[in-house]
Structure 1
Amino acid sequence: MSGLTNALVIAAVAAVVITRQFSARRIGSDRRWWIVPAVLAVVALREPGLIDPHHQVESSLLLGTELVTALAIGAGWAWTTRIWTEPDGSAWSRSTKASGAVWIAGICLRLGLFGIGAQLGVHQNSSAVMLGLAATLLVRSGLLTWRAQSLEPAAAGQAPAYGDGVRRVLRKERL
Structure 2
Amino acid sequence: MSGLVNAVVICAVAVLVIARQFRARRISADRRWWIVPAVLAFMALRGPGVIDPHHEDAASFLLGAELLIGLAIGAGWGWTTRIWTEPDGVAWSKSTKAAGAIWTAGICLRLGLFGIGALLGVRQDSSALLLGLAATLLVRSGFVAWRAQSLQPTPNGQGPEYGDGVALARLKERV
User: The TM-score by the shorter chain falls in which range?
Assistant: 0.7 to 0.9
CA distance in 1, matches of 2:13, 2:153: 32
Structure 1 residue aligned with 2:113? 113
Q: Note if 1:78 corresponds to 2:78.
A: yes
Structure 1 residue aligned with 2:165? none
Q: Percent identity?
A: 74
The answer on whether the counterparts of 1:25 and 1:94 sit within 8 Å (CA) in structure 2 is yes
CA distance in 2, matches of 1:48, 1:14: 23
Q: How does 1:149-160 map to 2 (within 5 A)?
A: 149-151=149-151, 154-155=152-153
Q: How does 1:38-49 map to 2 (within 5 A)?
A: 38-49=38-49
Deviations 1:29-56 (A, max 9, x none): 1000000000000110112110000000
Specify the structure having the higher radius of gyration (Cα): 1
Name the TM-score, length of structure 2 as normaliser.
0.87
SS of corresponding position for 2:147? helix
SS of corresponding position for 2:87? coil
Q: Note if 1:11 corresponds to 2:23.
A: no
Deviations 1:83-112 (A, max 9, x none): 000000110000000000000000000000
Number of residues paired by the alignment?
A: 155
Structure 2 residue aligned with 1:94? 94
Uncovered stretches (5+) of structure 2, i.e. residues with no partner? 156-175
How big is the shift at 1:146? 0.2
How big is the shift at 1:72? 0.1
Name the TM-score, length of structure 1 as normaliser.
0.87
CA distance in 1, matches of 2:84, 2:6: 35
Across the aligned residues of Structure 1 and Structure 2, the Cα RMSD in angstroms comes to 1.0
Uncovered stretches (5+) of structure 1, i.e. residues with no partner? 158-175
SS of corresponding position for 1:50? coil
The answer on whether the counterparts of 1:89 and 1:155 sit within 8 Å (CA) in structure 2 is yes
CA distance in 2, matches of 1:94, 1:74: 14
- Give the counterpart letter for 1:155 in structure 2: P
CA distance in 1, matches of 2:61, 2:44: 17
Q: Are the structure 2 counterparts of residues 156 and 47 from structure 1 closer, same or farther at C-alpha, using a change threshold of 3 Å?
A: farther
How big is the shift at 1:156? 6.6
